[in-house]
Chains A and B, each alone.
Chain A
Amino acid sequence: MLSIKNLHASIEGTPILRGINLEVKAGEVHAIMGPNGSGKSTLASVLAGREEYEITAGEVSFKGKDLLDLSPEDRAREGVFLAFQYPVEIPGVSSTNFLRTAVNQVREYRGEDPLDAVKFLTLMKEKMKLVEMDQKLLSRALNEGFSGGEKKRNEIFQMAMLAPTLSILDETDSGLDIDALRIVSNGVNQLKSKDNATIVVTHYQRLLDYIIPDFVHVLYNGQIVKSGTKELALELEEKGYDWIKDEVNSNATV
């Protein structure tokens, strides 16, 4: 589904990603872990199409298409979803109007008829249950005045509404209390299927108790330096990231 080859990206001339290689197949969950500043969020942003990053080398194909060639909106319409680390508050834009516009633009791109108001509301009510979303929140402006947990839940709710094939969760767990974490993870797990894939970007292993990854990758200095299964995450939790850094640095000096 997603194939990243030798991806290099920089911001304002500073290289952040220095040759990422990653293959993600349908039905898989990949966790990307790593110390602060290793490039985890950059990778998520680059895949979603954030414009401030410059791609200096490499390629990314998504369902056979050159992902890097697509605008952010077309990536979303093709089925890429980024759950933001810091969801943006947008005063004056109602959550419901925003979602309806988004859902119908995605449907139009896929050659489907737009949802009328009734069908849209029915879908919304169904998906709200997934993340135990309070309807009152949706009558407010998008994310405005939402608590941290409400914002993250809203991200997963939007994910449910847009039914992506590739979901990238950028530190969705950070700042969540255990109840919110459970609700968010539960939502993600219910949306999982054999046809879609999830990339979970996180600093902590805790989330991976709830969203069980098939593969765990460690990102350091803009490269994936180690890959393994969920046991790798536990090892990282126990030992921290220093041993990985040491390993990489000693290899480099040899």
Chain B
Amino acid sequence: MSTLIKQDILVELLGNTGIGFEEARAAGKEAFQAQGLPTNKSEEYKFTAITKKIEQSIQNFASAEAFEVTADQVKANVFESYEGDVLVFANGQFLPALSSTIEGVEVALLSEKANTPLGSVAKPEKDPFCALNQSSFDAGIFISVAKKAQIQKPILLLNFFKANAGQVIQPRVWIEAGDFAEVSFINHSVNLSDTPYFVNKVVEVKGGINTQIRYYKLQNEGKNAIEVSNIETDIQKDGRFTSVNISLSGEMVRNNLSINILGSNSEGNMYGLYLLNGKTHVDNHTNVDHTVAHAESNELYKGILADSSRGVFNGKIFVRQDAQKTNAFQQNNNILLSEDAVVNTKPQLEIWADDVKCSHGCTTGQLDEEALFYLQARGIAKDQAKGLLLYAFAGEVMAHIKDESFREYCIAQVQERLGSNF
């Protein structure tokens, strides 16, 4: 394995030039070159040495190609009693033959939708990986929910990954919803290879007036994944966007979630749970930008960290001068189960309006020994008492998952983890 220096990686990463969207790709490339790969001096990445991790793990910067997925593999990875529709992807490439057609929802390859304004929601200047994706994404999907469409069941975005010896996978997702539409997405990834790989994904979600969009994400694809994800949404008047992110594994994961509140009487909700062990490193950076008055944002991220895992939480709330009567709440709570586990948490509130209600708080501590003793003193075995307490801590986040079958699946995954690995 050759030791690459950063400049080489930059060139290598930019070497993958997908097809179409020349203008957007050029803008992405320019933004990426201007920002460069983050170093340990980059404020936004100072706790997450992602560039170093890529240097160490990725040897082949070619894009991983699509591969065949069988109907059985799809079936095996859909949650029990799940009744919603499924869209299947292999290394980011959409597989229509295995996917549902959904009434009220148009699904197309991005290459067929050349007018899609990529980069208008997730702006490449804000994050180098977002820029990199815009420059060299290799596969993309366009999802459009019709005006007033009420998609009752969630849409499962089932991503299969299979990469050889550290390849790069850069999927791109564009979601738009017409006025008054209501829709939920579940993003779930399945890793079919044992080798490390680097996924750099961008999801843009453009809401309309009074749209209700829920975006759930479960990260459980294995220990070898290096993943950067940028999800950004624009919320219009009376709209609501709710994100629930559950991270259970990965080598190094960075989630950037940005909500732009562009219309009044709207609501942005961000919920997250990270349950980490081994050497897993998960970094959640969230950003909510209140640009108009009379809107609300709620944020709750919780972490349970064992072994020598590491968690990072950085929550920015930006309330602009015009955004009077904003209600913005943020909370981050962590439980450290070992002396080697580390969490870095940083709330960042920037408030320019003078008539707002904003609050934030963060706690990091050990499992409550007094509560543990109380449960034991009632006859509950110590391990089970621990599991009960940790599950109670984690459950608050999962309660925000509206779809029952997915919620039950997440609860089962979390309970299994709390029972066996902690």
Against A, the Cβ 8 Å flags (1 = close, 0 = not) of B370-407 are 11011111111110110011011101100000000000
A111 within 8 A of B: no
A102 and B379 in contact, given A88-B371, A88-B374 (Cβ under 8 angstroms): yes
Whether the pair B382, A71 counts as a contact (CB closer than 8 A) is yes
| Cross-chain contact of A49 among B368, B376, B392, B395 (Cβ < 8 A) | B376
A226 within 8 A of B: no
A105 and B379 in contact, given A90-B389, A90-B392, A91-B392 (Cβ under 8 angstroms): yes
A11 within 8 A of B: no
Whether the pair A88, B370 counts as a contact (CB closer than 8 A) is yes
Against B, the Cβ 8 Å flags (1 = close, 0 = not) of A62-89 are 0000000001110111000110100110
Whether the pair A72, B388 counts as a contact (CB closer than 8 A) is no
- In angstroms, Cα B368 to Cα A70, docked, is 22
Whether the pair B389, A93 counts as a contact (CB closer than 8 A) is yes
Whether the pair B389, A76 counts as a contact (CB closer than 8 A) is no
> Would you list which residues of chain A between 181 and 218 have a CB under 8 Å from chain B?
none
- In angstroms, Cα B375 to Cα A14, docked, is 27
A229 within 8 A of B: no
CB distance from B179 to the nearest CB of A (A): 38
Residue of B nearest to A73 (CB): B376
Whether the pair B379, A49 counts as a contact (CB closer than 8 A) is no
| Cross-chain contact of A105 among B384, B391, B393 (Cβ < 8 A) | B384
CB distance from B362 to the nearest CB of A (A): 17
Whether the pair B373, A98 counts as a contact (CB closer than 8 A) is no
Whether the pair B379, A76 counts as a contact (CB closer than 8 A) is yes
Whether the pair A105, B381 counts as a contact (CB closer than 8 A) is yes
Against B, the Cβ 8 Å flags (1 = close, 0 = not) of A213-249 are 0000000000000000000000000000000000000
- In angstroms, Cα B402 to Cα A185, docked, is 45
Which of A48, A73, A76, A81 is the most central at the interface, judged by chain B CB atoms within 10 Å of its CB?
A73
> Chain A: how many interface residues by the 8 Å CB criterion?
30
> Would you list which residues of chain A between 108 and 157 have a CB under 8 Å from chain B?
109, 141
Whether the pair A98, B377 counts as a contact (CB closer than 8 A) is no
| Cross-chain contact of B377 among A72, A90, A101 (Cβ < 8 A) | A72
Residue of B nearest to A78 (CB): B379
- In angstroms, Cα B391 to Cα A31, docked, is 39
Query: Interface majority SS on B: helix, strand, loop or mixed?
Result: helix
Residue of B nearest to A104 (CB): B379
CB distance from A19 to the nearest CB of B (A): 25
| Cross-chain contact of A48 among B371, B377, B391, B395 (Cβ < 8 A) | B377
Inter-chain contacts of B378 with A (CB < 8 A)? 76, 98-99, 102, 158, 162
Whether the pair B379, A162 counts as a contact (CB closer than 8 A) is yes
Which of B370, B375, B388, B395 is the most central at the interface, judged by chain A CB atoms within 10 Å of its CB?
B375
A98 and B376 in contact, given A73-B382, A92-B395, A92-B396 (Cβ under 8 angstroms): no
Inter-chain contacts of B376 with A (CB < 8 A)? 49, 71-73, 76
A106 within 8 A of B: yes
| Cross-chain contact of B380 among A50, A84, A102 (Cβ < 8 A) | A102
Inter-chain contacts of A158 with B (CB < 8 A)? 378
Inter-chain contacts of A23 with B (CB < 8 A)? none
> Would you list which residues of chain B between 235 and 282 have a CB under 8 Å from chain A?
none
> Would you list which residues of chain B between 333 and 390 have a CB under 8 Å from chain A?
368, 370-371, 373-382, 384-385, 388-389
CB distance from A218 to the nearest CB of B (A): 26
Residue of B nearest to A89 (CB): B371
CB distance from A82 to the nearest CB of B (A): 5
Whether the pair A77, B379 counts as a contact (CB closer than 8 A) is yes
Inter-chain contacts of B380 with A (CB < 8 A)? 73, 98, 101-102, 105
CB distance from A144 to the nearest CB of B (A): 10
- In angstroms, Cα B88 to Cα A160, docked, is 55
- In angstroms, Cα B379 to Cα A71, docked, is 10
- In angstroms, Cα B382 to Cα A75, docked, is 13
Inter-chain contacts of A99 with B (CB < 8 A)? 378
Whether the pair A90, B393 counts as a contact (CB closer than 8 A) is no
A49 and B377 in contact, given A71-B382, A92-B395 (Cβ under 8 angstroms): yes
CB distance from B356 to the nearest CB of A (A): 28
Whether the pair B384, A101 counts as a contact (CB closer than 8 A) is yes
> Would you list which residues of chain A between 14 and 39 have a CB under 8 Å from chain B?
none
Inter-chain contacts of A81 with B (CB < 8 A)? 377
Residue of A nearest to B378 (CB): A102
Whether the pair A76, B392 counts as a contact (CB closer than 8 A) is no
Inter-chain contacts of B374 with A (CB < 8 A)? 84, 87-88, 90
CB distance from A221 to the nearest CB of B (A): 26
Inter-chain contacts of A162 with B (CB < 8 A)? 378-379
Residue of B nearest to A159 (CB): B378
Whether the pair A82, B379 counts as a contact (CB closer than 8 A) is no
Which of A48, A81, A88 is the most central at the interface, judged by chain B CB atoms within 10 Å of its CB?
A88
Inter-chain contacts of B396 with A (CB < 8 A)? 91-92
CB distance from A115 to the nearest CB of B (A): 13
Inter-chain contacts of B379 with A (CB < 8 A)? 73, 76-77, 102-103, 105-106, 109, 162
Residue of A nearest to B390 (CB): A92
Inter-chain contacts of A98 with B (CB < 8 A)? 375, 378, 380, 388
Inter-chain contacts of A103 with B (CB < 8 A)? 379
Inter-chain contacts of A49 with B (CB < 8 A)? 373, 376-377
Whether the pair A76, B377 counts as a contact (CB closer than 8 A) is yes
Inter-chain contacts of A109 with B (CB < 8 A)? 379
14 contacts between A and B (CB under 8 A): A49-B373, A71-B376, A73-B382, A90-B368, A91-B392, A92-B395, A93-B389, A98-B375, A98-B378, A101-B380, A101-B384, A102-B378, A102-B379, A103-B379
Seen from chain A, the residues whose Cβ lies within 8 Å of a Cβ on chain B are: 48-51, 71-73, 75-77, 81-82, 84, 87-88, 90-93, 98-99, 101-103, 105-106, 109, 141, 158, 162
Q: A77-B379, A88-B374, A101-B384 are in contact. List 17 more A-B contacts (CB 8 A).
A: A49-B373, A49-B376, A50-B373, A51-B373, A72-B377, A76-B376, A76-B377, A76-B379, A90-B371, A90-B374, A90-B389, A92-B392, A92-B393, A93-B388, A93-B392, A102-B378, A102-B380
For the complex of A and B, the 3 pairs showing the least CB-CB separation, nearest first, are A92-B392, A76-B379, A72-B376
